[in-house]
């Protein structure tokens, strides 16, 4: 299964038909096919890495949360405990699965009786066989047939269940807030779930703090840490207090980087710079681009202010620029802007080609107020 496109109306403060497309659009060179793209079916390519960029309050988080919404439906067949109102959100999710293109439509409803869960209404799911000769028409209505008489499900469960059948982690989402004292419990839970070895954990920890020689979980709340040859037994809150926030966030996120690469699910990260400095972000991108490491077609999807990391992208159609005026909307760099491939993307951002720079007059107004 691979998500191809998601479209929403009445979602947050976004424009109607707010659309994110994960299918490669521009010319595909042999180098792109080696480092930038995944061929999920003959001549059908999606990306190894996708970035959302834009200034503060432009809607980057709204975009990646919409993707997380889609992945939740495709993974768990339900929506629960999300940071947005479900009521009257109209969704279209298109995905590839076992030789077919599927189109799923629903209108979400909020129901006080369901608590934090969404209610799925007006559900329809359509299917057509994929042929490489129709690769440019995968979103066309032509050829789709509705799958009917699927059976009964609870109102908080999507009929996507009848297609995918089993719950599975198809993506993991990291917001920019962190997990606090619960972080290291999640680290060891992920290691157990995805069968990640202690040796891998040791190597991950060393990236962030080479003074840590080992870390073990004693029980749900307590840990044994060997730090500069000293053995310490610490509670979860004491451990988080002792180690830097960068180490704590970084270890958890890199464990999921390993899990995504080894299991082939997608990784969504909001404000990646809140977790890593630029060198580590570049390293993470390189891991997802390297098919000797990324053997199972995982995709890294992130929002960022680090426009320099976009210079690692050879393509432009995997970069989305978020903007907000009266409504949030997205612009695809390839489709909207005529940028020569040999020009540095970061230089275009600094030159405000995409109109994403902080307003200089606003900065000067603040300065003048402080000078009074």
Please choose, from the candidates 40, 43, 23, 146, the residue with its C-alpha nearest in 3D space to the C-alpha of residue 99: 40
The model carries a pTM of: 0.90
Q: Are 94 and 103 contacting, i.e. CB atoms less than 8 angstroms apart?
A: yes
Instruction: Give the three-class secondary structure for 334.
Output: helix
pLDDT of residue 311: 85
Burial of 186-198, coded b for 16+ CB within 10 Å and e otherwise, reads ebbebbeebebee
- Checking if the pLDDT of 21 tops 70, the result is yes
Q: Which CATH class is domain 2-170+266-359?
A: alpha beta
Condensed to tens digits (0 to 9), the pLDDT of residues 193-251 reads: 999 999 999 999 999 999 999 999 999 899 999 999 999 999 999 999 999 888 898 89
- Checking if the pLDDT of 179 tops 80, the result is no
- Half-sphere exposure in the Cβ direction for 120 (13 Å, CA): 25
CA distance 78 to 159: 10
Instruction: Give the three-class secondary structure for 367.
Output: helix
Query: How large a percentage of the chain has pLDDT more than 90?
Result: 69
- Checking if the pLDDT of 363 tops 80, the result is no
Q: What is the average per-residue pLDDT within 14-35?
A: 94
Instruction: Give the three-class secondary structure for 360.
Output: helix
pLDDT of residue 275: 64
φ/ψ of 231, rounded to 5, equals -90, 125
Choice between 96 and 361, residue whose per-residue pLDDT is larger: 96
Specify the pairing of strand 230-235 against strand 222-227.
antiparallel
pLDDT of residue 116: 83
CA distance 360 to 372: 19
- The average confidence (pLDDT) of the chain is 89
Write the burial class of residue 84 (CB in 10 Å: 0-12 exposed, 13-18 middle, 19+ buried).
Answer: middle
Choice between 52 and 86, residue whose per-residue pLDDT is larger: 52
- Checking if the pLDDT of 368 tops 70, the result is no
pLDDT of residue 111: 77
pLDDT of residue 307: 77
Q: Are 207 and 250 contacting, i.e. CB atoms less than 8 angstroms apart?
A: yes
pLDDT band, very low/low/confident/very high, at 370 (cuts 50, 70, 90): low
A 10 A CB-CB count for 238 gives 15
Please choose, from the candidates 224, 191, 228, the residue with its C-alpha nearest in 3D space to the C-alpha of residue 209: 228
pLDDT band, very low/low/confident/very high, at 34 (cuts 50, 70, 90): very high
Q: What is the dihedral of CA 347, 350, 351, 355, to 10 degrees?
A: 120
Bridge partners (DSSP) of residue 171 are 266
Q: What is the average per-residue pLDDT within 325-341?
A: 86
Q: What are the domain boundaries of the chain?
A: 2-170+266-359, 177-264
């Amino acid at each position: 299964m691979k998500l191809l496109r998601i479209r929403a109306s009445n979602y947050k403060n976004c424009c109607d038909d707010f659309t994110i497309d994960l299918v490669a659009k521009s010319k595909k060179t042999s180098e792109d096919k080696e480092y930038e793209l995944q061929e999920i079916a003959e001549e059908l390519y999606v990306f190894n890495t996708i970035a959302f960029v834009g200034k503060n309050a432009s809607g980057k988080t709204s975009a990646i949360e919409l993707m997380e919404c889609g992945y939740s439906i495709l993974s768990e067949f339900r929506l629960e405990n999300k940071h947005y109102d479900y009521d009257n959100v109209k969704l279209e999710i298109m995905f590839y699965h076992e030789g077919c293109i599927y189109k799923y439509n629903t209108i979400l409803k909020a129901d006080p009786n369901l608590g934090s869960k969404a209610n799925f209404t007006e559900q329809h799911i359509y299917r057509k066989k994929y042929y490489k000769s129709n690769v440019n028409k995968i979103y066309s209505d032509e050829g789709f047939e509705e799958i009917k008489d699927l059976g009964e499900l609870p109102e908080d469960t999507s009929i996507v269940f009848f297609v995918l059948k089993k719950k599975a982690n198809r993506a993991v989402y990291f917001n920019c807030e962190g997990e606090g004292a619960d972080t290291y419990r999640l680290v060891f839970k992920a290691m157990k779930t995805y069968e990640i070895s202690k040796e891998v954990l040791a190597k991950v920890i060393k990236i962030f703090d080479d003074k840590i020689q080992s870390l073990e979980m004693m029980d749900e709340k307590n840990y044994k840490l060997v730090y500069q040859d000293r053995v310490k037994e610490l509670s979860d809150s004491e451990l988080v207090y002792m180690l830097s926030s960068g180490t704590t966030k970084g270890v958890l996120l890199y464990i999921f980087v390993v899990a995504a690469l080894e299991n082939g699910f997608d990784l969504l990260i909001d404000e990646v710079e809140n977790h890593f400095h630029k060198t580590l972000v570049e390293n993470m991108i390189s891991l997802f681009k390297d098919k000797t490491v990324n053997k199972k077609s995982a995709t890294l999807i992130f929002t960022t202010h680090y426009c320099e990391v976009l210079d690692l992208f050879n393509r432009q159609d995997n970069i989305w620029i978020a903007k907000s005026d009266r409504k949030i909307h997205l612009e695809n760099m390839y489709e909207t802007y005529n940028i020569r491939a040999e020009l540095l993307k970061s230089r275009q951002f600094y030159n405000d080609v995409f109109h994403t720079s902080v307003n200089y007059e606003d900065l000067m107004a603040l300065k003048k107020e402080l000078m009074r």
